[in-house]
Amino acid sequence: MCRDTARHVISLSDLSDVDIRRIVARGGEFARGAAAGLRPQPTLAGSVIGLYFSRTSTRTRTAFSAGALRLGASVVAYGPGDLQLNTGETSEDTGRVLAGMLDALVARTAGDPAEMRAWARQERMAVVNAMSADEHPTQALADLTTLAGQFGAVDGLRLLYVGEGNNTAAALALGLSRYPGVRLDLRTPPGYGLAAEIRDRAAAAAAASGAVIRERHDMAELPADAEVVYTARWQTTGTSKPDPDWRAVFDPFRVTTAVMSAMPKAVFMHDLPAHRGEEVDAEVLDGPASIAFTQAESKMYSAMAVLEWCHGAG
Ligand code: CP
């Protein structure tokens, strides 16, 4: 990639409002182009993208692989046992070496973002967080792209998130907090809410933009005017819950047909994978209000937009 300084996407907090809107708009262009049967221009021809996933993934890994290939880039894929990180090579050395060979590294890890920040301590290779313990920024960019496609704009939307305050919820809060007039209500099980540091960052961004981010730990007084109900599975990839009775705490936070009927105008979103009968009833996920599978497809269009942005577009 012909850039002097690599552009990283490790947290949504790394991106300006303009960056986020550009990536969302470009993802929408790719989605509309695909719907019209158009093939994208090979804007990444000659680039080489590394994909390092130390945790399982269906959507994100395929979205970035297929997206890179559709834009003309080549892909090098590493599984959890492939890099010398496993034998003690430092993250800094790994980043320096890969930066001499790759244009971008898309990575999913179970750890905190410090490892990705270490890889990003060079100027040549973009580092993209495909999910870390604290945040799933490319999921939120895809979700914003889906929302913009569904509603025409994200500004002013009213959303309800039900479930664990996990990395998907964190990214959603950080992303939506940038949009004026947005109202995000989170209903998270007691003890499983947003991390305080994420809540504070989202609150600061919301105060600046005019968004509202609210969190409660019960399912009473659901917002009847919500336009979107969003949930995620209870067992976040790469994590486990030490409390053996955690299911009893999560049980009231299931998105049922009764929950959806309290918000009759709402569409249903889910980052997937789903466990029908746990976080969501099958009748909701597979019902007419669900846009979860459109949301999944938009991950590829959004990934293409992220890779182009890292390449220097916009
Ligand atoms: N939503 C999501 O990140 O899916 P994968 O874990 O399959 O990538």
**Does 292 lie in the same domain as 143?**
yes
Is pTM beyond 0.85? Reply is yes
Query: Nearest 5°: CA angle at 48, between 46 and 53?
Result: 160
Residue 211 located in a structural domain: yes
Q: How many Cα neighbours within 13 Å face the side chain of 308?
A: 26
Ligand 1 lined by 129 (C-beta under 6 Å): no
pLDDT the model gives residue 4: 59
Neighbouring residues of 16: CB distance < 8 A, sequence distance ≥ 6: none
Ligand 1 lined by 272 (C-beta under 6 Å): yes
Query: Nearest 5°: CA angle at 157, between 151 and 162?
Result: 110
pLDDT the model gives residue 67: 98
**Does 177 lie in the same domain as 121?**
no
Once rounded to an integer, what is the mean pLDDT over residues 84-101? 96
Which residue's entry shows tokens 């979205």?
63
Residue 128 located in a structural domain: yes
Cβ(121)–Cβ(105) under 8 Å? no
Of residues 241 and 212, the one with the higher pLDDT is: 212
Residue 251 Cα to ligand 1 middle (Å): 23
pLDDT the model gives residue 314: 66
Q: What's 266's DSSP letter? A: -
Cβ(148)–Cβ(154) under 8 Å? yes
Chain mean pLDDT for the chain: 96
Residue 1 located in a structural domain: no
Residue 3 located in a structural domain: no
Cβ(229)–Cβ(266) under 8 Å? yes
CATH number where 279 lies:
3.40.50.1370
Residue 167 Cα to ligand 1 middle (Å): 11
Query: What are 116-152's pLDDT values in tens digits?
Result: 999 999 999 999 999 999 999 999 999 999 999 999 9
**Does 143 lie in the same domain as 107?**
no
Structure tokens at 26: 């470009």
**Banded model confidence at residue 278, pLDDT cuts 50, 70, 90:** very high
**Does 228 lie in the same domain as 192?**
yes
**Does 285 lie in the same domain as 169?**
yes
Instruction: Using the atom order of ligand 1, give the atom closest to the CA of residue 56.
Output: 6
- Return the best residue to mutate from 57, 138, 300 for the ligand 1 pocket (most ligand atoms within 8 A of CB): 57
Q: How many residues does the chain have?
A: 314
pLDDT the model gives residue 2: 45
**Does 231 lie in the same domain as 116?**
no
**Residue-number span of the structural domain to which 190 is assigned:** 139-296
Instruction: Using the atom order of ligand 1, give the atom closest to the CA of residue 55.
Output: 6
Residue 2 located in a structural domain: no
Ligand 1 lined by 139 (C-beta under 6 Å): yes
**Does 91 lie in the same domain as 184?**
no
**Does 284 lie in the same domain as 143?**
yes
Residue 6 located in a structural domain: no
Ligand 1 lined by 271 (C-beta under 6 Å): yes
**Banded model confidence at residue 305, pLDDT cuts 50, 70, 90:** very high
Residue 122 Cα to ligand 1 middle (Å): 28
Q: Total structural domains in the chain?
A: 2
**Does 95 lie in the same domain as 178?**
no
Residue 5 located in a structural domain: no
pLDDT at position 273 over 80: yes
pLDDT the model gives residue 240: 83
pLDDT the model gives residue 313: 76
Strand partners for 213? 184
Structure tokens at 102: 């790759």
Nearest to 187 by CA among 158, 215, 153: 215
**Banded model confidence at residue 308, pLDDT cuts 50, 70, 90:** very high
Phi-psi category of residue 22: left, alpha or beta, with phi > 0 → left and psi -120 to 50 → alpha = alpha
Residue 268 located in a structural domain: yes
Q: Provide Rg for the chain, Cα atoms.
A: 19
pLDDT at position 237 over 80: no
pLDDT the model gives residue 110: 79
Ligand 1 lined by 143 (C-beta under 6 Å): no
Residue 60 Cα to ligand 1 middle (Å): 5
